[in-house]
Structure 1
Amino acid sequence: MEVGGLPLRTWTWDGGGATTVLLLHGFLDVGRTWSFVVEALPDDFDGHVVALDWRGHGESGWVGPGGYYHFADYARDLEVVTRAVRRDRLALVGHSMGAQAVGMWLGARPRGADAALLVEGLGPVPLPEAAYPGRMATWLDQTAPFDAERWLRPMRDLEHAASRLQRLNARLTPERAARLAGWATTEGPGGGLVWCYDPLHRTTSPVPVPSAVAAHFWAGVRCPLGWIGGAESRWTGPALDAWLDGLPLGLRRHLPGAGHMVQNDQPQALAAALVEFLAAV
Structure 2
Amino acid sequence: MLDQEQHKLTPVPQGATSLVLELPHLQMAALAWGNPDDRPLMALHGWLDNAMTFVHLAPELARAGYYVVAPDFAGHGFSDWRPAGQAYLLMENCFDVQAAALALGWSRFTLVGHSMGAGVASLLAGAHPDAIDKLVMLDGLGTLTTPDEEAASQLGRALGRWIGHQQKRQEQLDAAFPPLPGKAYSSIREAAEARMKGVGAVDLGAALQLCQRALKRVDVEHQAGGWYWQSDSRLRHPSPWRLTEAQNQAFVRAIKAPALLLEAESGLLIERPEIEERFQLLAQGQKRVLVGGHHLHLEEATAAKTASVVIEFLLAEPHE
Normalised by the length of structure 2, the TM-score is: 0.79
Q: CA deviation at 1:272?
A: 0.6
**Unmatched 5+ stretches in structure 1:** none
Match of 1:212 among 240, 246, 254: 246
Where do residues 259-270 of structure 1 align in structure 2 (5 Å cutoff)? 259-265=293-299, 266-270=302-306
Please tell me whether the aligned partners of residues 14 and 48 of structure 1 are also in contact (alpha carbons under 8 angstroms): yes
Match of 1:167 among 197, 201, 223: 197
C-alpha distance in 1, partners of 2:91/2:279?
23
Q: CA deviation at 1:194?
A: 1.9
Q: Identity over the aligned pairs, expressed in percent?
A: 24
Provide the residue aligned with 2:158 in structure 1.
139
CA RMSD of aligned residues (A): 2.4
Matched, 1:37 2:57: yes
**Unmatched 5+ stretches in structure 2:** 1-20, 170-178
Name the SS for the 1:111 alignment partner.
helix
Provide the residue aligned with 1:120 in structure 2.
139
Q: CA deviation at 1:89?
A: 5.5
Per-residue Cα deviation, 1:62-94 (whole angstroms, up to 9, x for no partner) = 013122211231111111112233668621001
Matched, 1:277 2:307: no
Greater helix share, 1 or 2?
1
Please tell me whether the aligned partners of residues 225 and 250 of structure 1 are also in contact (alpha carbons under 8 angstroms): yes
Name the SS for the 2:234 alignment partner.
helix
C-alpha distance in 1, partners of 2:47/2:258?
24
Per-residue Cα deviation, 1:97-145 (whole angstroms, up to 9, x for no partner) = 1111112222221101111101111333342222111111111111114
C-alpha distance in 2, partners of 1:224/1:35?
24
Where do residues 1-281 of structure 1 align in structure 2 (5 Å cutoff)? 1-15=21-35, 17-39=37-59, 41=60, 44-85=63-104, 90-146=109-165, 147=168, 152-168=182-198, 172=203, 174-188=204-218, 191=224, 192-237=226-271, 238-256=273-291, 258-265=292-299, 266-280=302-316, 281=318
C-alpha distance in 2, partners of 1:255/1:86?
35
The residue type equivalent to 2:130 in the other structure is: R
Please tell me whether the aligned partners of residues 91 and 115 of structure 1 are also in contact (alpha carbons under 8 angstroms): yes
Provide the residue aligned with 2:173 in structure 1.
none
Normalised by the length of structure 1, the TM-score is: 0.89
C-alpha distance in 1, partners of 2:25/2:107?
27
Q: CA deviation at 1:24?
A: 0.3
The residue type equivalent to 1:25 in the other structure is: H
The residue type equivalent to 1:94 in the other structure is: G
Per-residue Cα deviation, 1:228-258 (whole angstroms, up to 9, x for no partner) = 12111143133322222222344311111x1
C-alpha distance in 1, partners of 2:252/2:30?
26
C-alpha distance in 2, partners of 1:181/1:17?
30
Determine which structure has more spread, i.e. the larger CA radius of gyration: 2
Q: CA deviation at 1:216?
A: 1.9
Distance 1:48 1:196, change over 3 A: same
Name the SS for the 1:11 alignment partner.
strand
Matched residues, number: 278
Please tell me whether the aligned partners of residues 155 and 240 of structure 2 are also in contact (alpha carbons under 8 angstroms): yes
Please tell me whether the aligned partners of residues 142 and 252 of structure 2 are also in contact (alpha carbons under 8 angstroms): no
C-alpha distance in 1, partners of 2:217/2:98?
31
Per-residue Cα deviation, 1:169-209 (whole angstroms, up to 9, x for no partner) = 6652x444333322321135765322231100100001112
Please tell me whether the aligned partners of residues 139 and 263 of structure 2 are also in contact (alpha carbons under 8 angstroms): yes
